[in-house]
Amino acid sequence: MNSTAPEASSGAPSVAQKPTFDTLLNEVDGIFANARIAFALTMVDRAIEHQEWPQAAELILGLADKLERRDIPPTAWRELILASAWCGISAPVSGVIPAIESLMERYATRAWPTDFSNAQGEATFLRNKRRAMPWELADLFELAEQQEKHLNGLKLAQLICTVFPESPLGYYACAHFADRMLHLGERNLPSVCTPQFIGQNFGRAEELAKLLEMGAFAQRARLRGGAILLRSGEAPERGRELLREVDAPALSRADRLWYAVAMAHSSFWLDRVRAADQVIALSARTTRGATQTPPRQDADLELATRHLFEQAPLQLQPIEVDRLEELIDLLGPVEDAAHLAKNLELRTQLHALTDLPLTRAGEPADKMALNSGPAGQAAADFCQILEYYFAAQAAGKPIPSPHPDDLSRIESYFPLAGTTLSALFAILSEDASKLATALGSLEGKLRITQLQPAALKPIGLIWPSLFAYLAAHRDAEGDATTTHRIAASTREIFDRWIVRAPQPSYGWWTLSAQVLSCKELDDPWPEAAARSTRRALKNGISGNPDLKSQVLTTLIDRAVQHADDEVLREWLEIGEAHLLEA
């Protein structure tokens, strides 16, 4: 499901293996010249053998400069460029991009000539234009994916976008690797690793592919673009619109799984039914010739099935229940099949309790405990402990922290929930050391754990209490280092959480107002509050128009005082659109 390949291979030999220079050696005339070239290539091979990637790339660039005046065919130039790019992908850190960039800027048109016209007709012109693009690099992008060299793949893709601006390959690969890095939660993400930029690059790849009459490529780019916009919550309506234009049954197996996983995030029940239909259809194909008795889904289909269950809302339409029951049957003899079936039965009862205040959070616990699986018991424990916490907070009385074994059990099924409870109880007891430790643990989990948006929901419980704690202890005497750790972890957790988190129960507008009062977050320009408000503008529900007006007015005032021109223009336009209409 993570393949970078936009469509079937062009039939060219794979370049994912160690580079060869057969064409170059055969084409260089003269015994002396051939010997010099052979020696230079030997030096390149030696540098590659010793994994001296920058040196290998520089040697290839120097050799290309020596060959500049020789009449060698495009295939030989491609060998040089592909070998240099191969070094760029193989390097631990992409430090060879400057040499690759120089090589491509000087000699790319020799490797993929563009000296053609449309005199022979539009169809011939388009064929020639497609041939003048570096499709061979798709194999290297596949290599980067296999070796998890996502940053190297991204940098090479960005270079392709610069050197071949009319090729959809670079934009597609750029979006793919940015998507992978965002999904894996890698540190120090480049600026293009946001759902907005990823969606734009997939959209650009689709446009260029359409101009080249590459229908399969365009459809896959549309699929991936719609998937990131819907799954991330960045632009769910636009993502859904793109996915509804895709003919799901006509897709490849991998792409149908992309479609199903993405559509599982839709708020429309019919879309979720379509998602389940794709997995059911693929499961039927897989089990039709199976020799197992009873048959069982393969690993990809099982992951997709479990993802559909994870994303399913509490309130389901009857046809959704039918599809999910069918998926349970298709899972085969898995240990938690009974747990999943019981989970479906409990949803109707739990849905009626979703609007309970947090001081009554333990009421669903008994129903959750009826779930035969240990995950149900862990969820019940979480709700029961939450009730104790918020009841104690309302009464202003500290209570003992939960037993470590209980937290560990909760954490084994819900990675962030146990740590969230530890942080809440540290706030209640005003234990700065325990709070710094809990927040540090939470920060670490967000850095290294692959989480779906729903898994981020427990963190939303922290913000009101944590912001109040920070305000109360801002000027208090104590350990300045611990206070600094708490503030730094708060910024980091919020920064990673806000991108993909579902809306907290108190709403984005209330959160924005709270963040604006927290000086520890991006003072003097409150970028954290700005990000929360952007989420509110896209999909938040404002039950209090005065609150919305207060947040927007404050942000505009702060933008006038502290923001750069581009940000100021953005918020003035937002104010004009939303304050005047009120």
Residue 388 tokens, joined: 């104790």
Are residues 476 and 540 located together in one domain of the fold? no
Residue 105 has pLDDT above 60, yes or no: yes
Q: Note whether residue 252 is domain-resident.
A: yes
Q: Is 430 left (phi over 0), alpha (psi -120 to 50) or beta?
A: left
Question: What is the pLDDT, as a whole number, of residue 8?
Answer: 39
Distances (CA, A) of 120 to 124, 125, 126, 255: 6, 7, 10, 36
Question: What is the pLDDT, as a whole number, of residue 293?
Answer: 46
Half-sphere exposure of 10 toward its Cβ, with a 13 Å CA cutoff?
19
Residue 566 has pLDDT above 60, yes or no: yes
Residue 14 has pLDDT above 80, yes or no: no
| Domain stops at, among 264, 296, 324 | 264
Question: What is the pLDDT, as a whole number, of residue 13?
Answer: 44
Question: In whole angstroms, what is the distance from residue 442 CA to residue 493 CA?
Answer: 7
Are residues 463 and 487 located together in one domain of the fold? yes
Question: In whole angstroms, what is the distance from residue 226 CA to residue 179 CA?
Answer: 12
Q: What is the DSSP string of 58-89?
A: HHHHHHHHHTTTS---HHHHHHHHHHHHHHHH
pLDDT tens per residue across span 325-365: 899 888 877 776 777 777 777 776 666 556 666 666 666 66
Q: Note whether residue 119 is domain-resident.
A: yes
With a CB cutoff of 8 Å and minimum separation 6, the contacts of 503 are 535, 539, 540
Q: Note whether residue 322 is domain-resident.
A: no
Domain that holds residue 530: 507-581
Are residues 498 and 518 located together in one domain of the fold? no
Residue 141 has pLDDT above 50, yes or no: yes
Across 28-32, 228-232, 379-383, 418-422, least confident range = 28-32
CA 410 vs. chain centroid, Å, equals 26
Across 72-86, 293-307, 434-448, 554-568, least confident range = 293-307
Question: In whole angstroms, what is the distance from residue 496 CA to residue 505 CA?
Answer: 19
Question: What is the pLDDT, as a whole number, of residue 196?
Answer: 87
Are residues 556 and 438 located together in one domain of the fold? no
- Closest C-alpha to 4, from 133, 178, 163: 178
Question: In whole angstroms, what is the distance from residue 517 CA to residue 521 CA?
Answer: 9
Q: Note whether residue 316 is domain-resident.
A: no
The amino acid at 575: G
Are residues 171 and 135 located together in one domain of the fold? yes
| Domain stops at, among 218, 245, 264 | 264
Question: In whole angstroms, what is the distance from residue 530 CA to residue 551 CA?
Answer: 9
Question: What is the pLDDT, as a whole number, of residue 12?
Answer: 45
Are residues 92 and 215 located together in one domain of the fold? yes
Residue 268 has pLDDT above 70, yes or no: yes
Q: Note whether residue 351 is domain-resident.
A: no
Residue 358 tokens, joined: 């947090």
Residue 107 tokens, joined: 């000699």
pLDDT tens per residue across span 527-559: 999 999 988 887 656 667 888 899 999 999 999
The mean pLDDT of 64-86, rounded to a whole number, is 89
| Contact (Cβ atoms closer than 8 angstroms) between residue 171 and residue 201 | yes
With a CB cutoff of 8 Å and minimum separation 6, the contacts of 189 are 181, 182
With a CB cutoff of 8 Å and minimum separation 6, the contacts of 62 are 40
Are residues 496 and 538 located together in one domain of the fold? no
Residue 11 has pLDDT above 50, yes or no: no
Question: pLDDT: is 13 or 498 the higher one?
Answer: 498
Are residues 69 and 44 located together in one domain of the fold? yes
Percent share of the chain, pLDDT over 90: 34
CA 242 vs. chain centroid, Å, equals 18
Q: What is the DSSP string of 392-422?
A: HHHHT---PPPPHHHHHHHHHHSTTHHHHHH
In the chain, % helix, strand, coil (3-state, to 5) comes to 70, 0, 30
Question: What is the pLDDT, as a whole number, of residue 201?
Answer: 96
| Domain stops at, among 232, 264, 296 | 264
Question: What is the pLDDT, as a whole number, of residue 93?
Answer: 66
Q: Note whether residue 149 is domain-resident.
A: yes
Half-sphere exposure of 281 toward its Cβ, with a 13 Å CA cutoff?
17
Question: What is the pLDDT, as a whole number, of residue 176?
Answer: 96
With a CB cutoff of 8 Å and minimum separation 6, the contacts of 86 are 15, 18, 19, 140, 143
pLDDT tens per residue across span 475-534: 777 778 898 899 999 999 998 898 878 888 888 999 999 999 888 887 788 899 999 998
Question: pLDDT: is 219 or 285 the higher one?
Answer: 219
Are residues 557 and 460 located together in one domain of the fold? no
pLDDT tens per residue across span 181-199: 888 866 678 888 888 899 9
Question: In whole angstroms, what is the distance from residue 548 CA to residue 258 CA?
Answer: 37
Question: What is the pLDDT, as a whole number, of residue 255?
Answer: 94
Are residues 134 and 40 located together in one domain of the fold? yes
- Closest C-alpha to 302, from 270, 321, 323, 329: 329
Q: Note whether residue 293 is domain-resident.
A: no
Q: Note whether residue 472 is domain-resident.
A: yes
- Closest C-alpha to 129, from 101, 162, 168: 168
Are residues 148 and 162 located together in one domain of the fold? yes
Are residues 239 and 129 located together in one domain of the fold? yes
How many residues are listed for the chain in this entry?
A: 582
Q: Where are the alpha helices (DSSP H) in 289-431?
A: 299-311, 318-331, 337-351, 365-369, 374-395, 404-413, 417-428
DSSP state of 116: -
Radius of gyration for the alpha carbons in the chain, expressed in angstroms and rounded: 28
Task: Name the domain count of the chain.
Answer: 3
Question: What is the pLDDT, as a whole number, of residue 576?
Answer: 85
DSSP state of 190: -
Question: In whole angstroms, what is the distance from residue 110 CA to residue 31 CA?
Answer: 24
